[in-house]
Chain A
Amino acid sequence: MHAALRSTTLPRRAIAALTLLLASVASAGSPSQVPDTMAQRMQPCSACHGKEGRATQQGFFPRIAGKPAGYLYNQLDNFRSGRRAYPTMTYFVEQMSDDYLHEIAGYFAALDLPYAPPQTTNAPPDEIARGETLVRRGDGEHGIPACTQCHGAAMTGVLPAIPGLLGLPRGYLVEQFGAWRTGQRKALAPDCMAKVATTLTPADITAVATWLSSQPVAQGPAVADSLARPLPLACGSVPP
């Protein structure tokens, strides 16, 4: 009795479910047209990097708009190859070809967008001063080159693969130094920034990050075409 009841009701319910499913498939409209653009394809990036990759004033995530294409490609490849570790980034790029990573890097590099006002305000004057000294003159005694020697006199980056460091969140900057010190972030060998990060004291790292994140950025800061002098350290991510 019980079994008979089950055998008649179950298939009927299953058929009802299936009918409902087929009906819903039939009732769905046809897909709308999606723009055939990189801007549309790169929508997922905005969730963290802000509209068009320009970052936000409050956030942790770095600006990617206007960074040199060579730098952006290196980072995408670093995430794909495990030299950098951030699960969402790895998840996004691990099934992408070199060609597409190059196209993505080129797309964000070509975006010339205004910067938000600086994130850091009211920083202690002595910390700002120490930061500026390190950025502009380095620390010869400890073998630390000035940041400007590689990142450009205006700190807006140098083609093809050295990033500008202005307009980045302070927390992001500090965390990158930390990641280099612990080996969580690596660049192609020889890893020049790992050397710098492990030589700097924690207080100096904070000072540099404070200064960098307190600088206003003029509209459309130009990435420098080339360096005036050779790099002070060997860097695997910068082609000779």
Chain B
Amino acid sequence: MTMRLRVGLALAALLLAGAALVAWLNVRGEDALVGDANSFVATPEQVARGAYLARAGNCAACHTDRGGAAMAGGKGIATPFGTVYASNLTPDARTGIGTWSAAQFWRAMHNGRSADGRLLYPAFPYPNFTEITRADSDALLAWLRAQVPVTQVNRAHALRFPYNLQASLAVWRALFFKPGVYEPVVERSVQWNRGAYLVRSLGHCAACHSPRNAFGATRDSLELSGGLIPLQNWYAPSLASPVEAGVADWSSTDVAALLKTGLTSHGAALGPMAEVVFRSTQYLSDADVAAMAEFLKSLPQSPPHALTVAQIGKDVRAHGQALYKDHCAACHGDDGQGGAGPNGVVYAPLAGNRKVLLETPANLIHIVVNGGFPPTTAGDPRPYGMPPFGPSLKDEEIAVLASYVRSAWGNAAPAVSTLDVLDAR
């Protein structure tokens, strides 16, 4: 045997072993597919439970397209790797999941594999859903089966090479996905464990609030420590930081109010979080919201790292102050103290406001440029809103205004450049 042949054979063997390892990692932890679609008969209690869980998991946010039939899919989820289209979850036999067995549905939720064996893209947050219980999975299926069947063929994903290959996805899963089970922490209360389960699994809060690596995988070790939502230019702030969105110092009532009404004395839910409150958390029971609050309040808070804050120049300050007076002070107050309506604070105080002071100015710029309304909820059915200033202010002016707001009234956050504004809008 020549040297070259020997090396070649060794390489081939290595490659085969690698492929076998990847293949094995992709099917580990799978239960046998027992039974067919007919062997699962849902009870009315399961259907009702599933309806509640579908809210908690916000399934409709992706699986119901704007103006489209409920749960019939078709909505595009933009990712850095291309667009993933949500699938039809109605019980249509041909184009939906009407023929799926409960075991196949469980394999999708728990293992991220479709009924036909295809690996699913993690835009479907099975890295989080993997921790839901089999009982909850069955209840969700029970509710989905009770929906109106809609014939709508799934749209093919539009992912770039090599992300469009199942083999690439298999490697990704081998590296970053492991099926999991929620293990209750015995030292913690039942309520805390319920909150942790909701936040980590169905609520899939980490899908936005955890940082992602270059391959789009969220990092467990940095749980809920904040992440830039891909392609949306919104930063989901850290829930583990006292200077971002950590709630360790908030009252449980305030945390519950944010999730149920979208409004707290600290400010309102805007942007992607407004959608979460509108479609999902406002419908959760008081007990579940209290449980989530207990868990979120217990997250270890990392000490804030020091920001380098350079003083803004006199001219910038004067210009920013003038812009603030003309465009912002009427609602946010001369001293950034905010404004209160009948349901509490409706115009956020800007002095000491964590949203304003985030190291990345993306959200502040987004809010100034696009304005917006918090969601309508039972607790805040007629929200006040913020006008969009994108049409009337130049990028330079928005940068100056944002820099002023970040440095006035004792605020101290890095200045915002015109480039930051261009980047974020």
Contacts and interface: CB of A to CB of B under 8 A. Distances in A.
Interface of A: 10-11, 13-14, 16-18, 20-25, 27-34, 36, 38, 40-41, 43-48, 80-83, 88, 90-97, 99-100, 103
A97 B351 contact: no
Given A29-B337, A34-B331, A23 B410 contact: yes
Nearest to B274: A95
Nearest to B369: A88
Contacts of B351: 24-25, 27-28
A95 B278 CA distance: 6
Contacts of A13: 306
B49 to A, nearest CB: 25
A28 B67 CA distance: 44
B66 interface: yes
B375 A25 contact: no
A48 B388 CA distance: 9
A24 B335 contact: no
B305 A14 contact: yes
5 contacts: A18-B304, A34-B339, A41-B385, A44-B387, A96-B373
Contacts of A47: 371, 387-389, 391-392
Given A44-B371, A81-B67, A31 B338 contact: yes
B381 interface: yes
B389 A34 contact: no
Contact of A32 (B242, B306, B333, B410): B333
Contacts of A14: 303-306
Nearest 4 CB-CB pairs, A to B? A24-B410, A13-B306, A25-B352, A28-B351
Contact of A96 (B346, B376, B410, B412): B376
Contacts of B335: 28-29
B349 interface: yes
B340 A91 contact: no
B345 interface: yes
A90 to B, nearest CB: 8
Given A17-B243, A34-B347, A44-B372, 8 more contacts: A10-B306, A28-B335, A31-B345, A31-B347, A44-B385, A95-B373, A100-B381, A100-B382
Contacts of A23: 410
Contacts of A27: 351-352, 409-410
A203 B372 CA distance: 38
Interface residues of A, dominant DSSP: helix
B254 interface: no
A32 B339 contact: yes
Nearest to B269: A95
Interface string B54-98: 000000000001111000000000000000000000000000000
Contacts of B392: 47
A28 B391 contact: no
Interface in B8-59: none
A73 to B, nearest CB: 15
Which of A18, A47, A99, A100 has most chain B Cβ within 10 Å? A47
B412 A17 contact: yes
B275 interface: yes
B381 A97 contact: yes
Contacts of B342: 36
Given A18-B243, A47-B371, A47-B387, A32 B352 contact: no
A211 B54 CA distance: 52
A93 to B, nearest CB: 8
B124 to A, nearest CB: 22
Contact of B388 (A21, A25, A44, A83): A44
Contacts of B176: none
Contacts of B385: 41, 43-44, 92
Nearest to A35: B341
Given A14-B305, A47-B387, A36 B341 contact: yes
A187 to B, nearest CB: 12
A14 B352 CA distance: 16
Interface string B364-402: 000000111111100001111111110110000000000
B282 to A, nearest CB: 10
B336 interface: yes
B114 interface: no
